[in-house]
Structure 1
Amino acid sequence: MSNKKIGLLSLTALVLSSMIGSGIFSLPQNMAAVAGAEAISIGWLITGIGIIFLGLSFFFISRLRPELDGGIYTYAREGFGDLMGFMSAWGYWLCATIGIVGYLTVAFEGLGVFTDSENTVIFGQGNTVASFIGSSIIVWLVHALIAGGIKEAASVNLVATFVKVAPLVLFILLGFWFFDTDIFNSDVKASALNNNIGDQVKDTMLITLWVFTGVEGASVLSAHAKKRTDVGLATVLGILIALALYVAITILALGILPRETIAEMPNPSMGPLLDAMMGPTGKVIITACLIVSVLASYISWTMYSAEIPYRGAQKGAFPKILDKLNENSTPINSLWFTGFIVQFCLILVFVFEQSYNTLLLISTSMILIPYFLIGAYLFKLAIQTNSAWYIKLTGFMASIYGLWIVYAAGLQYLLLSVVLYVPGILLFLYSHRKFHGKFKLKGFEQTILAMIFILFCYAVYRLPELLAA
């Protein structure tokens, strides 16, 4: 039996590992393709301030309400009722579960660098028979690892996190050494993009947000922490480390090669950038560490994906069958549920690659509402408890940032996410009635349901147009 708890170092590694997946290795190209150095710097400033306020929201909530476990779901439910709690949980779970399939495809696409040639394709873009078999094996190996105990899985993740951060530090050190101010200053405004600075900043916002997805990891696993006070601290530490890495990598890259050159690079773009500084071994190093990175992120995100339905099932938001722990205190049925969904998505990748990519894009936008609700709950809680002014300010600023990223995502993604929320709401209504014996939704929750179904009908009507956009 495994009843061990997770310490501060492992909690911080979980937060860092879930944020640093595959995205950071492609970050230089992703940012250079949409903005110049000036807009990128402004984008990081806005995101840095917003994400720090979001991280501080987890920090303060963990101290004002230390008895709350489950993070994203529990905070939304406590603040805004069963329906909003479920929507936060469903959006987060769907984003996490579908998103982690991408980690497996990226890992095996990375393996293809070492095995594939023009005449022999073994792993391809992560969608071949070999990739499907290999990914499926990893799904159930990780399942067995987590089933053996959350603490043990977190320890494996801790080692992998050190491995994935090492090449990033190497890149930054070399970047300082090879940085050329003339190259950096040659295209600060990215005039070739024909976009003003404001539009460029907006185009960077979703990129900068996605690489911070996972900031909530410590709060999701708060029930497994040695000390509840470690939850908020691990969140803030993870954010500060990740922010420093992200900003350094994207800004230094613009002083190594011209922006337009970086914008045309294949991903992971850190590979050819490292090649430019240290020779042809750069791509090999980056690819190897990319594989370790995404597999470590897969472990941490699988733990989160299993925890959320388990917490929801305890309150009637998910079916009761998911409310079960094994002898190692792992939410085993929820883990099985997550594993089967991931396996199903792997089949989609293998058979209908384009359909999966579209679904992934839509599901990722579903994280926006859960993040907004975190800041909004802290703001409400701070007013109710008459907390210090800086706690109220933190909740307010995190809420404003949440609204900003919803705006930056645009109406298209908001409407598409509604399409995926409605099946979840039907599951919630079934589970809610079974749990309570009747519907116990409040008046404002019924109003929200009506608005969602109206938006759903409108989104379905415009679906071909939205998918083509």
Structure 2
Amino acid sequence: MRKDDGGPPEGADLAARPGSTAKVTLPTLTAMVVGSMVGAGVFSLPSRFAQETGVAGALIAWAIAGTGMLMLALVFQTLAVRKPDLDAGVYAYAKAGFGEYLGFFSAFGYWASACVGNVTYWVLIMSTIGAIAPALGDGDTLLAAVCSSAGLWLFFLLIRRGVKEAATINRVVTVAKLVPILVFILLALFSLDTDVFAENFRGADYAGSLFQQVRGTMLATVFVFLGVEGASVYSRHAKRREDVGRATVLGFLSVFSIFASVTIVSYGLLPMAEIAELRQPSMAGVLEAAVGTWGKVMVSVGLIVSVLGAYLAWTLMAAEVLLVAAKDKDMPRFLRRTNASDVPVPALLMTTVLSQVVLFVTLLSDDAFNFALDLTSALSLIPYLLAAAYAAKIAHRSAPGTRSRGRELTVGVLATVYTAFLLYAAGLKFVLVSFIVYAPATVLFVMARREQGRRLFSPRELVILAASIAGAVAGITALAAGWITI
């Protein structure tokens, strides 16, 4: 149940209610994966990559990200078949593989990444409008934060009344997302300047070594690929169980080709240093350089429609994470409550409050959009790492000589290594900031255990608790001392 950054596409409403008997087909499941990944992040790719690397580094980065995320997609394919009883996706795999406390952390991290990711939507909307209303800046001014806050709470009131992700809304969102992106790729190809492309090949002087360039792009690739598990979220609604894995791989390959194309063709339109300085959404600025103002307007309008629809969908999805965890007794029971419109209001309120807090934290950041983007990616890495490690664990425990054991073990290990590398690529700053978010969440875990009259922590869980608190203390100390900045 993770945002990619786009939101559930048409058909997701089939799975909105637990009691639904509707069965979804392979094309619909594939659309769910595509819709989960394609969203706000793709509109920011040109500038984000140009800030770190040139064409050569981008090609290597996409090769690494493509291979790693394909392994992760295959992990979800394997788990969908091997563990058909686990229907809640990433959160369920972590709990089954490594116990309730790490399962709780996975659920919370997954939810928190959705909340922080929602903040990138508002920053990007305000930055887009800021092109004609300078007071909004790059979405990082006080006025922008106030306007974004108004939007946050307006959506809270609308969703509280029962506005859900209807198929009609999702059709508009899907078209709004894909048409400008595909048009951008085609127009960029026709306008591509081979001399500019060649100059951008090795990267600019500010980019550092090739390894540093590639490492600098990793969190951006994670952000845009979030949602690769989209089909597994609705696995129990699949007409055929094997379609879940097929949809995951087909959706991933489709989206991968779009993301890589957007990034690479941009290097043929403007010098790398100029792309790096473009305001977000940078895709609009790149297209404006190629075809004029109308290109910028087309991308900007498409982005706003896309992001508003995606925000609606993923706010509901974030609340669903808490609702499901509460029903599994991994969160306090108050989060199970729903109103007459079947909306989980307490979970929705918590989702909106965390987004509000992060929104104001971005005012302290030097780059609000990239900070929120990177934090979203970093928070999601623990749930992904645990899911990959669980796949490797069950493959390792399979009977020797089992036909698929070798392939599943290889996929699980590679996916685990890749997500571990992403934590390294995130850097100490975002790992520590993630601990600051994760550690206080234990209060919810304690509440749930007390409600059940159970022992609060096992010895193993106490070790995990101590590690999370130590990480949070280190993060707060580093921020206070100025050793790391946001």
Spell out the pairing of 1:113-124 with structure 2 (5 A cutoff): 113=131, 116=133
Deviation, 1:16, is: 2.5
Shift in Å, 1:108 = 4.6
Helix, strand or coil for the counterpart of 1:215?
Answer: coil
Deviation at 1:168?
Answer: 0.8
Q: For 1:460 and 1:131, how far apart are their aligned partners in 2? A: 27
**Which of 224, 236, 240 matches 2:253?**
240
Relative to structure 2, which stretch is displaced further, 158-167 or 340-349? 340-349
Verify: 1:306 aligned to 2:319, yes or no: yes
- Label 1:142 to 1:4 Cα distance change in 2 as closer, same or farther (>3 A): farther
Structure 1 347/433 Cα, relative in aligned 2: closer, same or farther at 3 Å?
A: closer
Unaligned 5+ segments in structure 2 are 1-15
Q: Which of 317, 331, 347 lines up with 1:337 in the alignment?
A: 347
Aligned residues between the structures: 458
2:477 match: 461
Distance 1:62 1:322, change over 3 A: same
Alpha-carbon contact 2:55-2:267 (below 8 Å) kept? yes
In 1, Cα distance between equivalents of 2:260 and 2:362: 36
Q: Is the 8 A contact 1:14 1:154 kept in 2?
A: no
Match of 2:464 among 431, 448, 455: 448
Aligned position for 1:110: 128
Does 2:65 correspond to 1:47?
yes
**Residue 278, structure 1, aligned to residue 295, structure 2:** no
State which drifts further: 285-294 or 362-371. 362-371
1:416 corresponding residue in structure 2: 433
In structure 1, how many angstroms separate the alpha carbons of the residues matched to 2:212 and 2:354? Answer: 38
**Which moved further from structure 2: 86-95 or 269-278?**
269-278
CA distance in 2: counterparts of 1:361 and 1:28, whole angstroms: 16
Aligned to 2:303: 290
- Given the alignment, which residue of 363, 373, 390 partners 2:386? 373
SS in 1 for 2:246: helix
- Which segment drifts farther, 226-235 or 424-433? 226-235
1:22 to 2:22 alignment: no
1:53, 1:395 within 8 Å by CA — same for their partners in 2? yes
State the AA in 2 paired with 1:89.
Answer: A
Aligned equivalents of 1:354, 1:15: Cα separation in 2: 34
Task: Please name the residue that 1:156 is paired with.
Answer: 169
Match of 2:281 in 1: 268
Deviations 1:409-464 (Å, cap 9, x if unpaired)? 112221221121111112212212322x1217444333222322333333333332
Deviation string 1:319-374 (CA, Å, 9 cap, x unpaired) is 1122356787x5x32x5423453156447747983379567754542111111111
Mark the CA change 1:177 to 1:342 in structure 2 (over 3 Å): closer, same or farther: same
| Structure 1 residues 267 and 110: alpha-carbon distance in aligned structure 2, compared to 1, 3 A threshold | closer
Matching of residues 388-399 of structure 1 within 5 Å = 388=404, 389-399=406-416
Higher alpha-carbon deviation: 198-207 or 439-448: 439-448
Check 1:441–1:233 CA distance in 2 against 1; reply closer, same or farther (3 A cut). farther
**1:53 CA drift (Å):** 0.6
Task: Determine if contact 1:47/1:205 at 8 Å carries over to the other structure.
Answer: yes
Q: Which residue is equivalent to 1:87?
A: 105
Contact 1:220–1:308 (CA<8 Å) still a contact in 2? no
When structure 1 is superposed on structure 2, of 358-367 and 178-187 the one drifting more is 358-367
**Cα offsets for 1:93-141 (capped at 9, x unmatched):** 1111232133134335434556x378x99x9967265554344323333
In structure 2, what residue type is equivalent to 1:163? A
Aligned residues of 1:13 and 1:161 also touching (Cα < 8 A): no
- 1:235/1:156 Cα in 2 relative to 1: closer, same or farther (>3 Å)? farther
Secondary structure, counterpart of 1:468 in structure 2 = coil
- After superposing the two structures, state which structure 1 stretch, 437-446 or 356-365, moved more: 356-365
Correspondence for 1:99: 117
Code of the residue aligned with 2:474 in structure 1: it is Y
CA offsets per residue over residues 388-425 of structure 1, 9 Å max, x none?
12111111111010111011111222122112111111
One-letter identity of the residue aligned with 1:255: G
Instruction: Report the residue type matching 1:171 in the other structure.
Output: F
In the aligned structure 2, how far is the partner of 1:222 from the partner of 1:104?
Answer: 30
The TM-score normalised by the length of structure 1 is 0.88
Once residues 39 and 352 of structure 1 are traced to their aligned partners in structure 2, the CA distance between those partners, rounded to angstroms, is 29
Please give the root-mean-square deviation of Cα atoms over the aligned residues, in Å: 3.0
Which residue in the other structure is 2:454 paired with? Answer: 438
Counterparts of 1:227 and 1:163, CA distance in 2: 30
Deviation at 1:226, TM superposition (A): 4.9
Please say if 1:354 is aligned against 2:364.
yes
**Structure 1 CA distance for aligned equivalents of residues 471 and 277 of structure 2:** 38
The corresponding residue for 1:136 is 153
Secondary structure of 2:144's aligned partner: coil
Render the CA deviation track for 1:30-81: whole Å, top value 9, x for unaligned.
1011111111110110000000111111111011111211111111000000
- Once the two structures are overlaid, the 10-residue window that deviates more, 418-427 or 215-224, is 215-224
Post-superposition offset of 1:174: 1.5
CA distance in structure 2 between the partners assigned to 1:221 and 1:325 by the alignment: 21
The correspondence of residues 122-271 of structure 1 with structure 2, limited to 5 A, is: 127=144, 130-145=147-162, 153=166, 156-193=169-206, 195-271=208-284
SS of corresponding position for 2:166: helix
Query: 3-state DSSP class of the match of 2:261?
Result: helix
Q: Secondary structure at the match of 2:303?
A: helix
Residue of structure 1 equivalent to 2:420: 403
Matched, 1:38 2:56: yes
CA distance in 1, matches of 2:209, 2:148: 42
